[in-house]
Amino acid sequence: MVTFHRRPLPTDLVALDSEPGRALLVEAVARDTAASFFPLISQLHTQAEPAWCGLGTLVTTLNALDVDPGRAWKGPWRHFSEDLLICCKALEDAATDGLTLVEVGCLARCNGAEVRGVVAEPGTLPTLREDVRACVSTNTGPFLVANYTRAALGQTGTGHFSPIGAWHEESDQVLILDVARFKYPPHWVPLARLHAAMTDADPDTGHPRGWLVLERSEQPPESRPRCG
């Protein structure tokens, strides 16, 4: 069996832990376009299965939003992990097939988030930029989740989900906090290129991918919508 220890990041993308990557973050922090970085990086979760990027992204984002799952994780502690995200689609099906943008939005709603989804149709780059600006400027949410194809970024793999942690306005780059940390580190990507990667059609739906804007719902756990 062939095994892998990470993948080299494409040379035209900027790793967060590189000197240029750190400089971009410092400048974004100074311009208040990286407030979301701190709660998200504090909760950044490595997806537990190769196809669980959507679940890993929700674990990161829901915990960063300080959503109470309303049920125990381990012992007395209430904290999100993938095995608590059991609404909308069975975990075994998600492990095989992954999740669509609509399914990730459904899971987020069932687990305590208000969700707004946007399909990356032609002409929506300005809308994405506005949503990014709003989401990176707060440390309490909303936070933005990107759904894109890796191939358009020169990476291996197909469809992927990860949260956006910061925006460097001058270079118009966003920081993807990749939940497949066994594969790629957090890295900076030009926003227009990410948007183009979102316009790729998801083969499971036939529609373009896109993004979700998540914020904490004020509904108590017992009043949350449940699917299935």
Here the tokens at position 14 are 């900027």
Rounded Cα distance, 95 and 75, in Å: 25
How many CB atoms are located within 10 Å of the residue 222 CB?
Answer: 6
List strands edge to edge, sheet with 210-216. 14-15, 187-190, 173-176, 159-168, 143-149, 210-216, 113-119
CA distances from 174 to 33, 43, 78, 192 (A): 10, 18, 31, 10
Q: Is 195 helix (H, G, I), strand (E, B) or coil?
A: helix
Q: What is the DSSP letter of 116?
A: E
Rounded Cα distance, 111 and 67, in Å: 8
Considering just the CA atoms, what is the radius of gyration of the chain in Å?
A: 17
Catalytic residues: 53, 160, 178
Cα 217 to chain centroid distance, Å, stands at: 18
